[in-house]
């Protein structure tokens, strides 16, 4: 049992990158699908856009949409695991929220978790129940899918910067002039 206890307490640095990459890459894949969809609309009447090119682009859009959904879902799971190992590393919830930086990280993590539920459920509903694509129809659905991911990505950067400030006393956000966004 000592191995697992050590893993949970010392494992936080090893697992924190999974939610970061999942959330960021999910957002990048969603934006890529949106850009491809917009380009498809722009070239819709062009002679350049043959039926073969349209089908190929539609396949890419579908793949990026699916990748986005899987990535944010994995980011959400990673966020839960990183939160658990973070609490274990801090010695519990109470010691974690007594520190201003860690309390800020906890609040932002909760926001990110709930923000990402929206796009995950939207894709699940449209894809699994309605058998529709996010980026295939209309303009409002892609916006409702991407905006929460953009917000979650920004908050994830703040969570990461706060962790850096807590561990090292400074953050990469300090280096680029955005350190004022973090407490302390």
Compute CA 142 distance to the chain's CA centroid, rounded to the nearest angstrom: 16
Angle at alpha carbon of residue 87, lines to 86 and 91, rounded to 5°: 115
Distance CA 150, CA 23 (A): 9
Q: What's the alpha-carbon Rg for the chain, to the nearest Å?
A: 20
Query: In sequence order, what DSSP letters do the residues of 121-143 get, joined into one string?
Result: HHHHIIIIIS---TTTS-SHHHH
Residue 138: the pLDDT is 74
Q: Which of 154, 158, 156 has its CA nearest to residue 174?
A: 158
Distance CA 97, CA 86 (A): 11
Q: Which of 73, 92, 70 has its CA nearest to residue 83?
A: 92
The conformation of residue 8, written as its DSSP 8-state character, comes to H
Residue 86: the pLDDT is 86
User: pTM (2 decimals)?
Assistant: 0.85
Total of domains in the chain: 1
pLDDT per residue as tens digits for the range 61-113: 899 999 999 999 999 999 999 988 888 888 888 888 888 999 999 999 999 99
Residue 4: the pLDDT is 55
Distance CA 90, CA 71 (A): 27
Residue 145: the pLDDT is 94
Distance CA 38, CA 32 (A): 10
Which structural domain range is residue 140 located in? 2-181
Write the CB contacts of 76 (distance below 8 Å, at least 6 apart in sequence): 19, 22, 113, 116, 117, 120
Report whether 112 contacts 156 (CB < 8 A). yes
Residue 7: the pLDDT is 55
Residue 167: the pLDDT is 84
Q: Residue-wise pLDDT tens for the chain (184 aa)?
A: 465 555 555 677 778 888 999 999 999 999 999 988 888 777 776 777 788 877 887 888 899 999 999 999 999 999 999 988 888 888 888 888 888 999 999 999 999 999 999 999 999 999 889 888 898 767 789 999 999 999 999 999 999 999 889 888 888 899 899 989 888 7
Residue 114: the pLDDT is 97
Distance CA 96, CA 179 (A): 21
């Amino acid at each position: 049992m000592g191995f697992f206890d050590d893993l949970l307490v010392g494992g936080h640095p090893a697992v924190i990158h999974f939610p970061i990459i999942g959330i960021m890459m999910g957002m990048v894949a969603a934006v890529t699908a949106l850009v491809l969809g917009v380009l498809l609309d722009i070239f819709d009447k062009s002679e350049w856009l043959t039926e073969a090119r349209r089908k190929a682009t539609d396949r890419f859009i579908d793949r990026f949409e699916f990748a986005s959904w899987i990535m944010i879902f994995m980011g959400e799971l990673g966020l839960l695991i990183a939160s658990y190992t973070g609490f274990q590393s801090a010695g519990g919830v109470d010691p974690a929220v007594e520190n201003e930086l860690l309390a800020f990280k906890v609040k932002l993590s909760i926001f990110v978790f709930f923000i990402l539920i929206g796009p995950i459920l939207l894709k699940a509903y449209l894809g699994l129940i309605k058998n529709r694509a996010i980026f295939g129809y209309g303009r409002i659905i892609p916006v409702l899918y991407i905006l929460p991911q953009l917000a979650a990505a920004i908050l994830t950067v703040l969570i990461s910067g706060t962790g850096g400030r807590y561990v090292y006393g400074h953050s990469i956000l300090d280096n680029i002039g955005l350190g004022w966004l973090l407490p302390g």
